[in-house]
C-alpha cells in the first residue's frame, strides 16, 4: 500500500538533510510502528508524506497504491486515502467540529466522484463515531480544538480519522501528552478501524502505546534512516535497554 524507497529530504529553513535514504513498505491490513531518538527524522517522514511545506525531496520516491504521492497536492493525497494525525493538533477558532468534519468528508467524497452526504446522513455517521470515542455533543459543537485538553485534541484527531475512513493512517506521536485512560481510549479508536484494506504507520517514543496498538512490525529510525526492523519485541528491547545497543550495532 505505502512504499517509500531511498527517500532523502532536506529542511529548507536550515538547508539541512533530515532523511538520508528511508526505505519502508507498509502493506494493507498491517500496522507498522516507528521508534527512534529525538531528531532521527520520524516526524519529518510524516510531514513529507502528507505534503507539508518547508521540505525538499532531493531523491527517492513515495507511492500509495502505486500513485506518486509527491505528484499530488496535500488535499489530493487526502482524497487518495492518506491521513495524518498530528502530534500537536492546531486550533481553528470560529469553525465548529461539525462543520469542519462535514466539509472535509464531502470534499473528499466529491474528489472521488462519490455523492456528498446531506446533513441528516452526516449527523448519523458522526454521532456513531463520536460515541465510540466518548466525545459528547457539546464537544462536537465547539470550535476545532479550541480550549480542548490534550486528551480531547487527540480523541478529536481519531474522530476525524474514523469519519474520513482513510486507507493509510499515519499517527505522529498520538500518545504525546496523554494520560493512561486517554491513551487507552485513543488506542481503542484506532483498533476499531483496523481492517484488511487499511494500514497504519504509528510513530511513537514509547512502548506503552504499543501495548494497546500491537504492531506487526517495529522499525527503529536513527540519523534519517531505518536502521533495524523487527517484531513487537523490538519495542520492548528499546523500553528496557534504550537505543544505545541498537545504534552501536549499526554504527
What distance in Å separates the CA atoms of residue 14 and residue 121, rounded to the nearest whole number? 47
pLDDT in tens, 60-112: 999 999 999 999 999 999 999 999 998 888 899 999 999 999 999 999 999 99
Q: What share of the chain is helix, strand, coil (3-state, %, to 5)?
A: 40, 30, 30
What distance in Å separates the CA atoms of residue 144 and residue 66, rounded to the nearest whole number? 33
pLDDT at 251: 62
pLDDT at 10: 96
pLDDT at 82: 96
CB-CB contact of 55 with 9 (8 Å): yes
Of 96, 200, 87, the closest CA to residue 150 belongs to 87
Domains of the chain, first to last: 2-250 (3.40.50.300)
What distance in Å separates the CA atoms of residue 151 and residue 185, rounded to the nearest whole number? 9
* Bridge partners, residue 57, by sequence: 9
pTM of the complete model beyond 0.85: yes
pLDDT at 173: 86
Q: Which residues of the chain have pLDDT under 50?
A: none
Residue 179 corresponds to which cell in the numbers above?
A: 494520560
pLDDT at 208: 84
pLDDT at 179: 80
CB-CB contact of 163 with 194 (8 Å): no
Amino acid at each position: 500500500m505505502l512504499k517509500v524507497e531511498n527517500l532523502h529530504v532536506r529542511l529548507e529553513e536550515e538547508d539541512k538533510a533530515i532523511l538520508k535514504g528511508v526505505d519502508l513498505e507498509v502493506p494493507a491490513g498491517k500496522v507498522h510502528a516507528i521508534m527512534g531518538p529525538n531528531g532521527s527524522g520520524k516526524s519529518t517522514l510524516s510531514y513529507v508524506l502528507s505534503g507539508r511545506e518547508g521540505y525538499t525531496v532531493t531523491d527517492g520516491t513515495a507511492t500509495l497504491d502505486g500513485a506518486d504521492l509527491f505528484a499530488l497536492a496535500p488535499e489530493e493525497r487526502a482524497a487518495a486515502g492518506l491521513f495524518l494525525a498530528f502530534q500537536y493538533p492546531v486550533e481553528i477558532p470560529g469553525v465548529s467540529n461539525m462543520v469542519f468534519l462535514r466539509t472535509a468528508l464531502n470534499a473528499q467524497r466529491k474528489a472521488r466522484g462519490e455523492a456528498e452526504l446531506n446533513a441528516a446522513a452526516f449527523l448519523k455517521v458522526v454521532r456513531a463515531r463520536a460515541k465510540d470515542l466518548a466525545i459528547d455533543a457539546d464537544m462536537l459543537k465547539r470550535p476545532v480544538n479550541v480550549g480542548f485538553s490534550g486528551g480531547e485534541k487527540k480523541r478529536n484527531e481519531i474522530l476525524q480519522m474514523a469519519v474520513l475512513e482513510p486507507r493509510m493512517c499515519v499517527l505522529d506521536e498520538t500518545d504525546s501528552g496523554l494520560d493512561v485512560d486517554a491513551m487507552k481510549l485513543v488506542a481503542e479508536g484506532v483498533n476499531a478501524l483496523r481492517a484488511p484494506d487499511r494500514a497504519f504507520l504509528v510513530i511513537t517514543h514509547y512502548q506503552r502505546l504499543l501495548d494497546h496498538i500491537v504492531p506487526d512490525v517495529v522499525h527503529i529510525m536513527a540519523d534519517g534512516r531505518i536502521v533495524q526492523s523487527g517484531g513487537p519485541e523490538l519495542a520492548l528491547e528499546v523500553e528496557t535497554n534504550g537505543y544505545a545497543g541498537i545504534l552501536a550495532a549499526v554504527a
